[in-house]
Amino acid sequence: MIKKKRVMKILVLLVSILTINIAFAGCDKYTSVKDELQNKQLNTNKNNSNNINSEKNIADKEEPAKILEDTKEDNSNIITITAIGDCTLGSFPEVTEGKSFEDVLQANNNDYGYPFKNAYNWTKSDDLTLINFEGTLTDATELANKKWRFKGPKEYTNFLTASSIEVVNIANNHSFDYLEEGYNDTVKNMNNADIGVSGNEYICTKNINGTKIAFIGHEVIYEPQDIYDKLKHEISTAREEGADIIVCSFHWGIEYNNMPTPYQQKLGHYAIDTGADLVIGHHPHILQGIELYNGKYIAYSLGNFVFGGNEILYDKKHKDVDTILLRHEINLQDKKISDIQLSIVPFRLSGDKEYNNYQPIVLNGEEGIRIKDKLINLSKDLKYGIKSLEIEN
């Protein structure tokens, strides 16, 4: 009898040990599910407070078991983010018949891959692509009382999904071209197409293989004084909510001016001092220099890219058709940024040389080098201007 009890005790002990082992073996999975839950919680909180957008876990495409294995062996991670300047997908009421974005699209069989076709190599191979979305996607007809008013129909989100563009900044001087209705429609249409909306009151977060990236954006052309406190608050909140990388878009500067104003420089530095990791600028419609400030890059203006707001390439105002894709390869070690490699892909903003065909083309060879040298020259006048730059082909 006593012997039987002992055997029972041993059996119970064995079962307990086995149970504990199974629990430990499932630890990684548990952590992963917990992370997922936390991410969801983060999103729910954000959706409640800030209308923050849904995250898209690119890890979904891979086999979960492989990801767990990778995380176990190595705590380093590389995230590639491509940034693109001013994009207007659509047109304006005063456009010449036959020359509008819609006309060119129609002539190209309404192919949603058409405008970003030559950028697709890079937008699809990165983790995330961010563009400045300079316009609206709406059926609204009531116009703002201003000179240029841009819009396209809601289906134009297809240009972004077809081109692997995951995040848009809407903090610019065209997001209210069709007033509140146009603005709200644009946000709604982007959300419905699962495109991350950042800028103004929207902070977008994305989760790439466990790395959380927050996108913040502001239009600061008229130098709002409350921007400093607002930015500080947003950046610290994003960090508290677990962002490993913070990307800040600024719509700023003087149109067709290659030199960042003192205000741009002050705010760019302030954003980095406050905790931003990348600063992406636009609005001047042409390229401005790049700074490396305390280990972080500030690109003051990326220029136009697919720009439905200009039908003609050259006139009194428009003389410059140079543009780029800006690539950031961000290395993380234990979720902290250890290094950022910056490179460019030089582009000309239209394939056609006279009229805008709304399909930028890659510039190779000497033309590409010319754009690289131009950026380095523009950076020379900046206190922390970069001295070299890689071209990615």
Positions touching Zn ion (CB under 5 A) are 172-173, 283
- The C-alpha atoms of residue 278 and residue 196 are separated, in whole angstroms, by 17
Q: Name the residue nearer to Zn ion (CB basis): 173 or 261.
A: 173
Minimum CB separation of residue 172 from Zn ion in Å reads 5
Minimum CB separation of residue 282 from Zn ion in Å reads 7
Is 133 exposed, middle or buried (CB count within 10 Å of its CB: 0-12, 13-18, 19+)?
Answer: buried
Minimum CB separation of residue 336 from Zn ion in Å reads 34
Greatest CA separation found in the chain? 104
- Structure-token match 């909180």, residue found: 45
Q: Name the residue nearer to Zn ion (CB basis): 210 or 253.
A: 253
Minimum CB separation of residue 94 from Zn ion in Å reads 17
Q: Name the residue nearer to Zn ion (CB basis): 115 or 135.
A: 135
Q: Name the residue nearer to Zn ion (CB basis): 43 or 173.
A: 173
DSSP 355: B
Instruction: Please report the sign of the dihedral spanned by the C-alpha atoms of residue 51, residue 52, residue 56, residue 57.
Output: negative
- Tokens for 379, please give them: 């950076």
Q: How far is CA 73 from CA 25, 28, 64, 80, in A?
A: 16, 12, 15, 21
Backbone φ and ψ of 354, nearest 5°? -105, -55
Q: How far is CA 297 from CA 36, 154, 262, 265, in A?
A: 31, 34, 17, 12
Nearest to 255 by CA among 174, 143, 359, 186: 174
Minimum CB separation of residue 367 from Zn ion in Å reads 26
- The C-alpha atoms of residue 225 and residue 222 are separated, in whole angstroms, by 9
> What DSSP string runs through 130-183?
EEEE-S-B----PPPSSS---BB-GGGHHHHHHTT--EEE--STTTTTTHHHHH
* 3-state SS, residue 253: coil
- The C-alpha atoms of residue 280 and residue 248 are separated, in whole angstroms, by 6
Q: Name the residue nearer to Zn ion (CB basis): 172 or 310.
A: 172
How open is the CA angle 165-166-170, to the nearest 5 degrees?
Answer: 95
Minimum CB separation of residue 330 from Zn ion in Å reads 27
Minimum CB separation of residue 284 from Zn ion in Å reads 8
Backbone φ and ψ of 157, nearest 5°? -60, -25
Minimum CB separation of residue 331 from Zn ion in Å reads 32
Q: Name the residue nearer to Zn ion (CB basis): 258 or 343.
A: 258
Q: Name the residue nearer to Zn ion (CB basis): 173 or 191.
A: 173
Instruction: Give the number of other CB atoms < 10 A from CB of residue 113.
Output: 13
> What DSSP string runs through 61-106?
GS-HHHHHHHHHH--EEEEEEEEEEEEE-SB-TTPPTT-SHHHHHH
Minimum CB separation of residue 283 from Zn ion in Å reads 4
Closest CB to Zn ion: residue number: 283
Q: Name the residue nearer to Zn ion (CB basis): 86 or 244.
A: 86
Minimum CB separation of residue 134 from Zn ion in Å reads 6
- Tokens for 57, please give them: 């876990």
Q: Name the residue nearer to Zn ion (CB basis): 254 or 376.
A: 254
Q: Name the residue nearer to Zn ion (CB basis): 122 or 178.
A: 178
Nearest to 86 by CA among 202, 159, 172: 172
